[in-house]
Chain A
Amino acid sequence: EDQVTQSPEALRLQEGESSSLNCSYTVSGLRGLFWYRQDPGKGPEFLFTLYSAGEEKEKERLKATLTKKESFLHITAPKPEDSATYLCAVHHNNNDMRFGAGTRLTVKP
């Protein structure tokens, strides 16, 4: 069964404390893996697309990586404004777009 699993469900960090979020997937024929950020009361905001194992993308304090079974979103020296829910989504062979449940990140000053 196609699944997208994100861990941890929630993560609390001190400002400046680097960490990583995980997105593991079991789908056939990955066509793209997406990371989104969602703030309360808002729609998801696109961050990155990764297409093949070994690919990496960076934006400010965020870096996304992809292997054949999972993706990581690394957050370096986070700030309170990085607090949000981070969603990963997988587009695969049958044209389905499947989202994980998200990781709720809180960065305390």
Chain B
Amino acid sequence: DAGVIQSPRHEVTEMGQEVTLRCKPISGHNSLFWYRQTMMRGLELLIYFNNNVPIDDSGMPEDRFSAKMPNASFSTLKIQPSEPRDSAVYFCASGTGLGHQPQHFGDGTRLSIL
């Protein structure tokens, strides 16, 4: 069975550029989560969707961050403009409930902003 698929796996770009991270959740899962992981702050929940609708985006750090889920099989996390402090590993996870159920994680996108 295909797991959560994220692309790209690695992204290196210059400060000020727009960055788009992509996620394909597991088929049949109705919840999708975006996380950011850094050494300093660990794993932080940024936003989550249920049935393609954003439920809570209180973890999104700034207005430079935005996320969309146009359909059940695709989501994007966009940073515009990017800054060096956005460098981190970004994970997408999917599940069948709003946190009560285990989440299945992708292997992440390692983002470096120069």
CB-contacts of B35-63 with A (<8 A): 42-45, 48, 55-56
Is B107 a contact partner of A46 (Cβ separation < 8 A)?
no
Set B48, B98, B100, B103: member contacting A46, Cβ < 8 A: B103
The answer to whether B45 touches A43 (Cβ under 8 A) is no
B99 touches A43 (CB 8 A): no
Check if A41 is an interface residue, CB within 8 A of chain B: yes
Asked if A99 and B98 sit within 8 Å, CB to CB, the answer is no
Q: Give, as a whole number of angstroms, the nearest-CB distance from B32 to chain A.
A: 13
A79 within 8 A of B: no
> A7-23 vs B: 1/0 string, CB under 8 Å?
00000000000000000
Contact B56 A45 (CB under 8 A): no
Closest chain-B Cβ to A106's Cβ sits at a distance in Å of 17
The chain A residue with its CB closest to the CB of B48 is A97
Chain B residues closer than 8 Å to A46, beta-carbon distance: 102-104
B93 to chain A, nearest CB (A): 7
A interface secondary structure, majority: strand
Q: Which residues of A contact B104 (CB under 8 A)?
A: 46
Contact A43 B93 (CB under 8 A): yes
Asked whether, in the complex, the Cβ of B99 is within 8 Å of the Cβ of A99, the reply is no
Complex contact A95–B91 (CB within 8 A): no
Contact check, A95 vs B93: say whether CB atoms are below 8 A apart: no
A58-109 contacts to B (CB < 8 Å): 87, 89, 91, 95-102
Q: Chain B residues near A100 (CB, 8 Å)?
A: 42
**Chain A contacts for B103, CB-based, 8 A:** 34, 44, 46, 97
Which residues in A have some Cβ–Cβ distance to B below 8 Å? 31-32, 34, 36, 41-46, 49, 87, 89, 91, 95-102
